[in-house]
Amino acid sequence: MKKWFEPLSTAWVGVVTHKLRSFLTILGIVIGVGAVITLMSVGKGAQAQILSNIQSMGSNLITISPGAFTSGGVRTAAGATRTLTIEDAEAIAEQVPYISAVAPSYSSSLQLVVGGKNTNSQVTGVNLEYMQVHNLEIANGAFFSDYDYQSGAKVAVLGTNVKETLFVDADPIGQQMRMGSIIVRVIGVLESKGAGFGSPDDAILIPLTAMQQTVAQPRTAQGGRIVSSIALTVSDEKQSDYVVEQITSLLRTRHQLTPNAGDDFRIQSMEEIASTLTQATGTMTLLLGAIAAISLLVGGIGVMNIMLVSVLERTREIGIRKALGARERDIWIQFLIEAAFLTLAGGIIGVVVGWVVSYIISSMGLMTTLVTADIVILAVSVSVGIGLFFGFYPAWNASRLNPIEALRSE
């Protein structure tokens, strides 16, 4: 106990005696740790936001989009082909198990006219299950009914952004708008999900059946009605992989692909999208942390510099301690503890500074930040590690001093 206490109290006396010097020494560590905490919190915040967006879209979602396919050695760009059809969606719903809902959709850019406003917007034709598949709620009015769908009724449901752009504060329910060559009646407004990845706030939904009458929906050579994508939800998340497998083999059969041809569609589960996105933000977080870590390294070199000066200044003290019976190990441990003490103090102050800065960033609404325990623990232990690493050489220097010469020094 005493063995550890004495070096610590000596270190404390040293810090108090050289207040300004100690402050400047640990400033590098404070800035380094503060930067690591702040930048990592920004990265983690972005990651958390993306994950929560994805969760709000439903983690059991699987989307199928038309993919690149190779024809006669020529590979077409993904999405350029039109290979998915409503018939595909129906076949999936009928033949693949563990599926709770299937929503094929067809998107097209159409001209919208409301009163004097004239805009070009992406309109999506959907079926009744679209709401369930994408976890959407109606905020105002109603979604179209089965009868509307069957009869191809000219009705539309708007996302909140679209509603605000076209109708501002007016109640849009029952209002009419021109969409391409037809007139549709607004019957509902979607609940807002907030800005973010794949937000429904910009959506304009009409029955897929109405879409087919509005724009000449293209057909495949076999007469299938082409859709832009098929979204579906699985009833049991654990079966996602199995479902993807089943859909793949079903679609390959339906599209009459030869065994050595590539898929002409792409299946993505939400899990896959989530992992891709978190991987990207994780890399970004790591990069930010690495940049900040460089300033920690510079701070460590500053600590080493001061420790070398301190050893030089205290040569006589080292001589005295050796005359009193201190072994090399005792001196070595003492200076290591002093260095680690300095950087630990710097690390703790740095955590507080980083925390405050990231709080300010998020409260100013610049970015979402998230300070997690693992970052704090990592930053503090890294700063202690820096003290030990950069204190090693000065401490070793001190321990190797010849006691007679050390006692003679001024």
Q: Total number of residues binding other proteins (CB under 8 A)?
A: 22
Instruction: Specify the stretch interacting with other proteins by CB under 8 A; choose among 29-37, 115-123, 241-249, 311-319.
Output: 311-319
Are 21 and 302 in contact by the 8 Å Cβ rule? The answer is: no
How far apart, in whole angstroms, are the C-alpha atoms of residue 345 and residue 353? Answer: 12
Q: Which of 134, 163, 255, 322 binds other proteins (CB under 8 A)?
A: 322
Pairing of strands 229-234, 138-141: unpaired
* Residue 263 found at the interface with other proteins (CB under 8 A): no
Residue-by-residue DSSP string for 105-170? EEEEEEEEEETTEEEEEEEEEE-TTHHHHTT--EEEE----HHHHHHT--EEEE-HHHHHHHHTTS
Contact characters 14-53, other proteins, x per CB under 8 A: x--x------------------------------------
Q: Is there binding between residue 330 and other proteins (CB under 8 A)?
A: yes
Stretch that binds other proteins, among 37-45, 177-185, 277-285, 402-410 (CB under 8 A): 402-410
Among 328, 333, 353, 361, interactor with other proteins by CB under 8 A:
328
Q: Judge contact between 390 and 306, C-beta under 8 A.
A: no
Q: Name which position in 250, 367, 388, 407 contacts other proteins (CB under 8 A).
A: 407
Tokens standing for residue 187: 């019957």
DSSP assignment of 299-350: HHHHHHHHHHHHHHHTHHHHHHHHHTT--HHHHHHHHHHHHHHHHHHHHHHH
Piece of the chain touching other proteins by CB under 8 A; list 187-195, 234-242, 313-321, 344-352: 313-321
Decide: 237 and 55 in contact? Cβ < 8 Å.
no
Residue pair 336/392 in contact by the 8 Å Cβ criterion? yes
Q: Does 385 bind other proteins (CB under 8 A)?
A: no
DSSP secondary structure code for residue 176 in this structure: E
Least Cβ distance, residue 320 to other proteins (angstroms):
5
Kindly state whether residue 320 participates in binding other proteins, applying the rule CB under 8 A: yes
CA-CA-CA-CA torsion for 126, 131, 136, 142, nearest 10 degrees? 90
Under rule CB under 8 A, residue 326 binds other proteins: yes
| Whether the Cβ atoms of residue 136 and residue 113 lie closer than 8 Å to each other | no
Stretch that binds other proteins, among 12-20, 127-135, 221-229, 280-288 (CB under 8 A): 12-20
Residue 251: how many other CB atoms lie within 10 Å: 22
Shortest distance, CB of residue 359 to other proteins, whole angstroms? Answer: 39
Confirm or reject binding of residue 312 to other proteins (CB under 8 A): no
Considering the complex, state which of residue 378 and residue 407 has its C-beta at the smaller distance from other proteins: 407
Among 321, 376, 389, 391, interactor with other proteins by CB under 8 A: 321
327 near other proteins, rule: CB under 8 A: yes
Write out the residues near other proteins by the rule CB under 8 A: 2, 6, 13-14, 17, 316-317, 319-330, 403-404, 407
